[in-house]
Structure 1
Amino acid sequence: MGKAQDFEEIPWVIMGDFNAMRFEREKIGESYRWRNYVPDLNNMCNETRLEDLRFMGNFFTWSNMREGEYMITTKVDRALVNEKWGSVFSNSIANFLPPSISDHSPCIVECGVMSSPRKIPFRFFNFWAHHDNFLSIVSKAWEEEVRGTPMYQLVTKLKRVKEALKVFNKMEFGNISARVIEARENLLRVQHALASNPLEENLILEEKAKAFNFKSLSRAEESLARQKSRVQWLREGDQNTSYFFKCVNGRKNRNRITKLKSDNGMVIEDPLSIKEEIVSHIKRVFEEPMGVKDY
């Protein structure tokens, strides 16, 4: 496990029978010996920074193939991946198939294909409000004259503010992570020069300006990461940013739908067909007449 950090920049997956489960919900049956292995497997995942790959198919992957009170079934087979795997193979998924004559469900990991990028909806980021020019940009866009009904004026003004904020975000915070790195390097460069000339007034003023810029961009980057990841309970700090972005990527991977089984049992993989099937299913649910119960 100590070697895991040496391979963080390489996508890797560990899959198969771990002969242990991670959570209590991954077992049905009255055998208690499985509980002894829960901390061991979770500790291993924490130390190696591995997480379960998104999966479909069978949840319970092993059975003692007995009946009644003697039946035990658990999830002991899994596919664990590191963060790099999730970023390189963002559409990958583990498929646990029916066990056939075996007591284990076979697992197939599909790396997936990149889908066409979707249009990103407009989002308001909280750190914008801390910028000195934020209010003036909003006011200027809002105060432009619009003719028409009150509702038309409102919608038009909102659109203008949205477009102004998009330009503002691109100009001030575009490629935010790269800007943070550049700001840090600029600050270090000035501080190295100041170490050799500690009384140089121009360098002292430049250091203050570079430090302010670095702090502002760092706070914006972390605020962006926190808002996207929906993690609210960690305090701000330089060491938190990578964790927040891991949460963002993890949530995206968990929420992505790459396959769907229709009501007639067909497995759908085409993104457009998946959307159509979801819409059709919802329509059928709402169009079905409410059943009348006899009491």
Structure 2
Amino acid sequence: MPWSILGDFNATLLSNEKGGPGAFNLGSAAEFQAMIDACLLLPISSTGKKFTWTNNRRRGHVATVLDHSFCNEKWVDFFRNVMQHVLWSSVSDHAQLLVISDIVSKSNNIPFRLHGFRMENENFLLVVDEAWKMQLIGDPIYVLSEKLKRVKGLLKVWARDSFPNLNMELEQATKILKMIQDSIEESGMSDDLFNKEADAKTALLTASCRHEALWAEKEKLRWVKNGDCNSKLFHLFVKLRRARNQISALKREDGSWALDQRGIAEYIASFFEKFHEPTSIIEHHDLLDCIPKILSNEDVASLEATPIREEIKQIVWDMDPDSSPSSDGFLGKFFRKCWEVVETDFGKVLSKIMSSSLMPLLPRLVLDEQGAFQKEEAFCRGLKLLVRDGKLKSLPGPRGIRLERLPTKYLDVKIFKGRVRGSHVLPLLDNIKRKLARWKGKLLSLGGRVKFVRSVISSITVHNFAVYWWPDHSIKLVELWMRNFIWSGDMEVTKKIVVTWDDVCKPKQEGGLGIRRLRDVNFVCLAKLTWQIKHEESSMSKFFWGHFLKADGSLKSGHISSSIWPGIKKVCNFVALNEQWTVGNRHKIDFWKDRWLNHLSIEEMLLNDGGHNGNLKTKVCDFIHNSRWDFPQVASNFMKDIINKANSIYISGMEDECHWRPSSAGVFSIKSAWEACRRSSPKVSWSWCGSPLFNLVKQFLDGD
């Protein structure tokens, strides 16, 4: 039965639903979430005001979301358009909620979409070839566009005749098989019924495969491959996404609202007609004089060169075959399937060819800092101070950039000053809670939940882990949610399991499920940042080096007020222990402290030999003259041994270079760092390896 519930629940669900003084109550939010999960409720998307309640105080002003609206799955099935509008409050301290549930008819002008399963039909290539034979004269882009239009028309007619309504086909095939099997139970098996049952099973299997392939394209959940395909979960994902993407209302420039579909269509058409009208602009030709000439004539010629046929084919094969179709409705796999037919018309991939040609030149055109965000709070604070003092202003013109509103959050990484606290990562916890909703856990199998946690949940925190050292209680809370979700399907319900979480978080070769401990991931992500600071030449690395490190690469002593500093302190020793230098002709390698002779530094070997380090400050290059070793005479047996080992090292004459020891290639990677920091276990020897059951289980857990 479809039903909906809305009103004042006197509880907040997410941390961003509360503004003002006072801490967010995690316990109350957990109880509220448990009630929602127990009733299998789905939140209704909201527009308008963010907060629904306020205490109306001048000082200590608090605004929160206490009023919510929910519905069940059948409500979404019945009403294609469900939306909540938060209206303005008048006398009450609560805002009014308006929930609109409309039965929106299916549009008649649905864009063309080529479904992948139709390309497996034996007549598909014949239809495309027939359409592509059309002879046209003109620009290659025009020719390709017209041929694709003709292919669309013929494929629509062909698909309508060759592929019936998939839902009706599946229902009819199921009904026929049931009737035949009922006849077998009543009258017994006969040759005729046996043949009919075999044909009915084949028809049902074909219909099921087509139906599953169609929903696999609609659900757009790339993390799942097998096991949970075509389940109720993915049907619900599609319905929720459709409801969320449905435009139910638009606010006009005069403040009025367009609420019906006809009014929305008229307003959109008039808006873009006005938007594309010619307008007067202020030209800034003097800005062109400030752009340096970086590309040489050879670089420009390489960009303008006509690509060869092999290059075009490689670009086509590099395209994701299962990605969402572009505006023309064709998937990437269409061009692979029909390559022999369409290869002469390569206009489709011109943009991809251009990006591939430009890729080698991008490091010279774009700074490293322009490809990411500034990982320190000083950048945005400094620019805002310049704006406040009048030293910086927005550019004039109709599309000027307002520098007064610089972002302080990127990829859910919030910029702040000081030690990372639990309140700083609450937005990430909210995101994880939304992903681990109970209705998802109940609709997924155990293998599906493992894959969901490994592929989706573990990746949410990666960008934040790359900058900040998370508090222990936040790490433990997220892992508790992950553990509960895997075993019980509900992140708030603990189930007694004899397998420890440490055993679960092992590679599959060691008997685990391939999930990584979040603390280990946090550790190696910060190790990557530290490695970049110490060994890359970017402006960001130089900035952090001067801020956090001494001239010799060691950490500065004392306290530094920074949100990044605590994490770098945690991993700096681990990075130093895994460095290995190659001797060249530069002044980078410290003779005593760096590991250039073997896996230990000379200072560490001296301490192990019973000596003391003292205040030793010497570079390796001090003992190199004309690319040859030049050591003074020494009396110490320890130093004689060091000199003998050093003389066996070939001086390359290149620059000093530091390698990452855990990697065979000497290049830092998250995987090699994780293997180096974790506690490994012996590999498990499965006695049933190679059996069909083992291969099936492995394929299911791998998601391949």
TM-score surpassing 0.5?
Answer: yes
Contact 2:44 2:71 in 1 (8 A): yes
Deviation string 1:140-164 (CA, Å, 9 cap, x unpaired) is 3334x43544746534432332222
Match of 1:289 in 2: 398
Asked if 2 retains the 8 angstrom alpha-carbon contact of 1:61 and 1:77, the reply is yes
Write the mapping of 1:145-160 to structure 2, written as runs, cut at 5 A. 145-149=134-138, 151=140, 153-160=143-150
Give the SS at the match of 2:6.
strand
Scaled by the length of structure 2, what TM-score is found? 0.36
Q: Which position in structure 1 is the counterpart of 2:25?
A: 34
Deviations 1:62-98 (A, max 9, x none): 1233355x33321110111223323433334322112
Shift of 1:173: 2.9
Q: Is the contact made by 2:18 and 2:24 (CA closer than 8 Å) also made in structure 1?
A: no
The alignment partner of 1:14 has SS state of strand
Q: Secondary structure of 2:85's match?
A: strand
Give the TM-score normalised by the residue count of structure 1: 0.80
Distance 1:291 1:225 in 2: 44
C-alpha distance in structure 2 between counterparts of 1:293 and 1:239, whole Å: 47
Partner Cα separation in structure 2 for residue 128 and residue 81 of structure 1: 36
Aligned to 2:699: none
Q: Is the 8 A contact 1:225 1:241 kept in 2?
A: no
1:96 aligned to which of 80, 86, 96? 86
Give a deviation string over 1:3-37, Cα, whole Å, max 9, x none: xxxx2xx3x22110111222222122343463212
How far is 1:222 from its partner?
Answer: 1.9
1:106-153, CA deviations, whole angstroms, 9 ceiling, x for partnerless residues?
A: 11223447478340000011111233332333333334x435447465
Counterparts of 1:271-282 in structure 2, within 5 Å, are: 271-276=264-269, 278-279=271-272, 282=275
How far off its partner does 1:280 sit? 5.9
- How far apart, in 1, do the equivalents of 2:96 and 2:41 lie? 21
Alignment of 1:143-222 (within 5 A): 143=133, 145-149=134-138, 151=140, 153-194=143-184, 197-198=188-189, 200-222=190-212
Distance 1:29 1:101 in 2: 21
SS of 1:205's partner is: helix
The reply to whether residue 64 of structure 1 matches residue 55 of structure 2 is yes
Asked which structure has the greater RCO (Cα within 8 Å, sep 6+), the reply is 1
- Which whole-Å CA distance do the structure 1 matches of 2:228 and 2:168 have between them? 15
| In 1, Cα distance between equivalents of 2:400 and 2:137 | 48
1:207 and 1:117 map into 2 onto residues whose CA distance is 39
Q: Which residue of 2 aligns with 1:20?
A: 11
% of aligned pairs identical?
A: 29
Q: Give 5+ residue unaligned stretches, structure 2.
A: 282-396, 404-704
Q: Distance in 1 between matches of 2:251 and 2:401?
A: 29
SS where residue 25 of structure 2 aligns? helix
Match of residue 262 from structure 1: 252
In structure 2, how many angstroms separate the alpha carbons of the residues matched to 1:238 and 1:170? Answer: 29
For 1:25, give the aligned amino acid: N
Correspondence list, 1:67-146, <5 A: 67=58, 70-112=60-102, 114=104, 117-143=107-133, 145-146=134-135
- How far did residue 169 of structure 1 move? 2.4
Looking at structure 1, the residues matched to 399 and 150 of structure 2 have their Cα atoms a distance apart, in angstroms, of 45
What is the CA deviation profile of residues 184-213 of structure 1, one whole-angstrom value per residue up to 9, with x for unaligned ones?
122233334445544x34433333332222
Could you say what secondary structure the match of 2:172 adopts?
A: helix
Structure 1: runs of 5+ lacking an equivalent: 1-6
**CA-based RMSD:** 3.2
Alignment size in residue pairs: 282
Which deviates the most, 83-92 or 55-64?
Answer: 83-92
Query: In the alignment, what sits opposite 2:237?
Result: 247
Higher Rg: 2
Deviations 1:44-69 (A, max 9, x none): 3333332222322211111233355x
Amino acid at match of 2:10: N
Distance 1:208 1:132, change over 3 A: farther
**Is residue 19–residue 62 contact of structure 2 (8 Å, CA) maintained in 1?**
yes
Distance in 2 (alpha carbons) for counterparts of 1:292 and 1:134 = 50
Q: Deviations over 1:224-256 (max 9, x none)?
A: 122123222334457734332322222122112
| Alignment CA distance shift 1:57-1:149 (3 Å) | closer
2:36 counterpart of 1:45: yes
Tell me how far apart the structure 2 counterparts of residues 73 and 194 of structure 1 sit (CA, whole Å).
Answer: 67
CA contact (8 A) 1:93 1:111 kept: yes
SS of the residue aligned with 2:99? Answer: strand
Letter in 2 for 1:61: T
Asked whether the 8 Å contact 2:212–2:229 carries over to 1, the reply is: no
